[in-house]
């Protein structure tokens, strides 16, 4: 695996710094003056219900979606004032974004390496190592269009890692990934952070974030409801319980309806 740059001093700017981010679609505001700082060297989880604004926020933070207002900086670089410099230091694996599907997995990694202006020999060596560790070596010559959803997640992660970025931003990286591959990805991310990198990942799976991340932000309605270490947020309970408490999720009881479930008409 390629190793990220060594960890920097505590006086350095955060890995990600979002200030007053706003996003509106057709006059409807979906992110509301969101501010968030992600410390360098952390494995940071972003959790929230569907429609919370997680993907929109990460897209604005990484230069994929222009904010209506506010600023986003990565490692001290303004993402929208100097996008080339910002994108050079980060690797991004967006959720649902189409890849070059008519390329094989190996060709895709070599294409990404060429876009990053990496030496061809480095791209080739790193590609083979990433394909092996992510259990894609046997499908390296298969076109991405024929990959399963989990395989697409893995090749997208490999493409994000190929240039050894200092910051890795992953949107739902474990979605549709089998348990064996999921464990390999956990190992990669822990090693990446241990050698100086920073990971920001979104997920719907509270247990996954609680077991993997050291810090977490809970987002709902386009706002940050809480941000702290996982240990502090889960004091006296689980992250799942704390999440439900913060977002105000109610419990479905019998009087709320659905009484017809389990009361199917018996065959005559």
Q: Report in angstroms the alpha-carbon separations of 220 from 60, 72, 117, 214, 245.
A: 16, 19, 39, 20, 12
Residue (of 205, 207, 252, 246) closest to 228 by Cα position:
246
pLDDT at 204: 84
Residue (of 224, 230, 225, 247) closest to 19 by Cα position:
224
Q: How far apart are CA 216 and CA 47, in angstroms?
A: 7
pLDDT at 191: 94
Domains of the chain (ranges plus CATH)? 8-89+203-245 (3.40.50.300)
pLDDT at 6: 43
**Cα dihedral sign, 91-170-97-58:** negative
pLDDT at 246: 87
Give the mean pLDDT per block of 10 residues along the chain (268 residues): 45 91 92 95 93 91 94 96 95 86 96 95 96 95 94 94 96 90 93 95 90 94 93 89 80 59 65
Cβ-in-10-Å burial (0-12, 13-18, 19+) of 6 comes to: exposed
pLDDT at 66: 94
Q: Which residue has the tokens 């394909």?
A: 131
pLDDT at 263: 63
pLDDT at 248: 75
Q: Is the pTM of this model over 0.75?
A: yes
Are 20 and 34 spatial neighbours (Cβ–Cβ below 8 Å)?
A: yes
pLDDT at 2: 44
Q: Which residues pair with 47 in a beta bridge?
A: 203, 218
Q: Which residues pair with 34 in a beta bridge?
A: 21
Residue (of 247, 233, 236, 238) closest to 208 by Cα position:
238
Q: How far apart are CA 112 and CA 267, in angstroms?
A: 59
Instruction: Please state the φ and ψ torsions of residue 112, each to the nearest 5 degrees.
Output: -60, -40
């Amino acid at each position: 695996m390629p190793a990220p740059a060594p960890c920097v001093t505590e006086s350095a700017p955060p890995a990600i710094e979002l200030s007053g981010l706003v996003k509106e679609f057709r006059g409807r505001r979906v992110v509301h003056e969101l501010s968030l700082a992600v410390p360098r060297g952390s494995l940071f989880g972003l959790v929230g219900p569907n429609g919370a604004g997680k993907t929109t926020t990460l897209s604005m933070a990484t230069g994929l979606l222009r904010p209506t207002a506010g600023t986003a900086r990565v490692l001290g670089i303004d993402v929208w004032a100097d996008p080339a410099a910002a994108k050079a230091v980060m690797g991004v694996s967006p959720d649902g974004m189409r890849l070059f599907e008519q390329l094989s997995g190996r060709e895709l990694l070599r294409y990404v390496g060429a876009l990053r202006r990496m030496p061809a020999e480095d791209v080739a060596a790193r590609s083979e190592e990433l394909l092996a560790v992510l259990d894609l070596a046997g499908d390296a010559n298969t076109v991405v269009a024929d990959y399963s959803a989990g395989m697409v997640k893995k090749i997208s992660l490999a493409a994000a890692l190929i240039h050894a970025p200092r910051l890795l931003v992953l949107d739902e990286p474990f979605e549709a990934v089998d348990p064996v591959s999921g464990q390999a990805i956990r190992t990669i991310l822990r090693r990446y952070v241990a050698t100086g990198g920073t990971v920001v990942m979104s997920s719907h799976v509270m247990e996954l974030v609680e077991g993997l991340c050291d810090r977490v932000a809970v987002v709902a309605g386009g706002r940050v409801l809480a941000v702290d270490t996982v240990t502090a947020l889960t004091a006296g309970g689980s992250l799942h319980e704390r999440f439900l408490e913060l977002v105000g999720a109610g419990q479905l009881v019998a009087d709320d309806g659905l009484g017809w479930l389990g009361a199917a008409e018996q065959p005559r």
